[in-house]
Amino acid sequence: RTRSTRMNEGDEFAIALHADDGTLIVGIRPDGSIQQGPNYRPDEAAREFWDAVTRAAHSAAPWTEGTDG
């Protein structure tokens, strides 16, 4: 399982994915550049990114879960 974080003031990354042990998987900087961690796998990182987007959308608007719009 991975966790994602959003940017706070002073953070290096706008968004970052970390393994449970805190190891960076991939970080995206505000300028769009990325830093890959030692266990970076593009397909897995992309899936986790979109899973995090989905979780964030559902937590922001939980009444839309299970609907098409």
Classify residue 10: in a domain, yes or no: yes
Total domains in the fold of the chain: 1
pTM, to two decimals: 0.62
More confident residue, 38 or 67: 38
d(Cα 28, Cα 42) in Å, to the nearest integer? 13
- Strand segments (E) across the chain: 2-6, 15-19, 24-28, 34-36
Q: Which residues, in sequence order, are bridge partners of residue 17?
A: 4, 26
Per-residue model confidence as pLDDT tens digits over 6-56: 555 557 888 888 888 989 999 988 899 999 999 899 998 888 888 888 888
Classify residue 56: in a domain, yes or no: no
Classify residue 61: in a domain, yes or no: no
Classify residue 57: in a domain, yes or no: no
Range of the domain at 43: 2-51
Classify residue 64: in a domain, yes or no: no
Taken in order 8, 17, 52, 34, is the CA torsion positive or negative? positive
- The distance of Cα 10 from the centroid of its chain, to the nearest Å, equals 18
